[in-house]
Amino acid sequence: MSGFSTDDVRAAVAAGVINESQASRLVTMAQSRQGVRTYLSGEDEPFEFFRGFAEIFVTVGLGLLFAGIFAITALLGGGAVVPIVGMLLCAGFAVYFTKKRRMSLPSIALATGFGLFMAISTGMIIGTGEIPEAGHGLIIGLVGMAGMALYFNYFKLPFSMFILGLFGIVTILSLAGIVSNDRRIFFDFPESLFDLGHGSVMAYGSLIFGVLAFAGGIWFDLKDPHRISRYSSSAFWLHMLAAPALVNVVALSLFNIGGIVGYTLTSAALLCVTIVALVIDRRSFLTAGIGYIAVLIFMALENSTDEHISTVVTLLVLGGVVTFLGTWWVQIRDIVMQALPNFPLKKRLPPYSESV
């Protein structure tokens, strides 16, 4: 055998040859003998959306099938029986495609369908009407979170944590609507929704959700620092939800202060986001701040240059920064981790080279 990589270990875990604990110990032992960064591929967030066209073909078929179920629901004009049947069908198909065949894209589609049918059936049972209120959203969110938690526990599908997180957003924003006595449809967002400076309860709710999702992602990351199991993929999906919730609230609130103070504070906040993304080794966490970086560059240039030139320069600068970070992410992270003092859990984060 010419070589053995972490991809082989991941495949062994997915096939049930070894469990995740055994895989983690195996990789740790191998890396301790061969060196951390010389053994790793440099891949920070291993993620497999689909493995071949067969998965796309199956997913298209499932999409057509469940589109028919939606059509039946619309034709019947009410009742929760049809979406409940759709939810059960999703779970039944998942037993084969997720548990047995371990197909990525169909599993993602089935988890999405399960969550969607569950939300529809819950809404029909409680009778939300044409304009659901915050109380309705709270019930849908709580039922959805419980359902997706059971789904994750049985199918061990990381993507189900993303759907669970979406139900979590609905739950927290609905609670915010109830607390603020604003029982309108919970996604009837005012302009200052995510601005802490306006005292928006929704903004605080979004911030709380972001912190909880981030904590959940870190919890999974600490269980799998070498990123060879489903724990890492589960963390990936939680970070995809946490980053926009945190960055949007903090950056928007600071940016709306306006002037040099607002722009400076927003820049400092985005710098902190970048450092956090490097420390936890998650490029996805930084992606949420790219839009705000673009706005800051544009605002800095528009007062001194033509608007069209500002747009071009913004794209060039932003593209250069993102390309630089993406190309030398591992080396930059090594420098940052070495510069930081020891802190709790530092050794349990993804490994880094201690010599540059």
**Helix and strand counts by DSSP (H, E) for the chain:** 15, 0
Q: How far apart are CA 348 and CA 144, in angstroms?
A: 32
Buried-exposed string 243-256: b where 16+ CB fall within 10 A, e elsewhere? bbbbbbbbbbbbbe
Both tokens assigned to 94: 């998942």
Across 258-262, 267-271, 324-328, least confident range: 258-262
Q: Count other C-beta atoms under 10 Å from residue 87's C-beta.
A: 23
User: Residue 26: helix, strand or coil by DSSP?
Assistant: helix
pLDDT at 261 over 80: yes
Backbone φ and ψ for 91, nearest 5 degrees, come out as: -65, -40
Q: What digits encode the pLDDT tens for the residues 16-30?
A: 777 766 776 666 666
Is residue 302 domain-resident? no
Residue 103: other Cβ atoms inside 10 A:
20
Q: What is the per-residue pLDDT across 151-180, written as a single tens digit (0 to 9) for each?
A: 999 999 999 999 999 999 999 888 887 877
Task: Tell me the C-alpha distance between 138 and 134, whole Å.
Answer: 6
Tokens describing residue 354: 């201690």
pTM, 2 dp: 0.79
**Pairwise CA distance, residues 194 & 52, whole Å:** 40
Region 201-229 average pLDDT: 87
Pairwise pLDDT comparison (261 vs 153), residue with the higher score: 153
Distance CA 248, CA 194 (A): 7
Q: Stretch 66-70: mean pLDDT, rounded?
A: 80
- Rounded Cα distance between 258 and 6, Å, is 48
Q: What is the pLDDT of residue 184?
A: 46
Q: Is residue 241 part of a domain?
A: no
* pLDDT tens digit sequence for 262-294: 878 888 888 888 899 999 988 878 877 777 677
The verdict on residue 7 lying in a domain is yes
80 in a structural domain: no
> C-alpha 211: how far from its chain's center?
13
**pLDDT tens digit sequence for 110-130:** 999 999 999 988 988 887 655
Q: How many domains does the chain have?
A: 1
Separation of alpha carbons 98 and 159, rounded Å: 11
Is residue 131 scored above 80 in pLDDT? no
Q: Would residue 62 count as lying in a domain? A: no
Domain extent for 27: 1-41
Per-residue confidence (pLDDT) for residue 193, from 0 to 100: 61
Q: Answer for the pair 184, 177: CB distance below 8 angstroms, yes or no.
A: yes
Residue 105 has pLDDT above 60, yes or no: yes
Q: Is residue 182 part of a domain?
A: no
Nearest to residue 151, comparing CAs of 114, 113, 119, 190? 114
Residue 4 confidence (pLDDT) above 70: no
| Residue-wise burial string across 185-214, b where 16 or more C-beta atoms lie within 10 A, e elsewhere | bbeeeeebbbbbeeebbbbbbbbebbebbb
Cα distance between residue 190 and residue 176, in whole Å:
13
150 within a domain of the structure (yes/no): no
Question: What is the spatial distance between Cα 229 and Cα 157, in angstroms, rounded to a whole number?
Answer: 11
User: Which pLDDT score, from 0 to 100, does residue 40 have?
Assistant: 47
Whole-number Å distance between alpha carbons of 207 and 6: 36
Establish if 119 belongs to a structural domain.
no
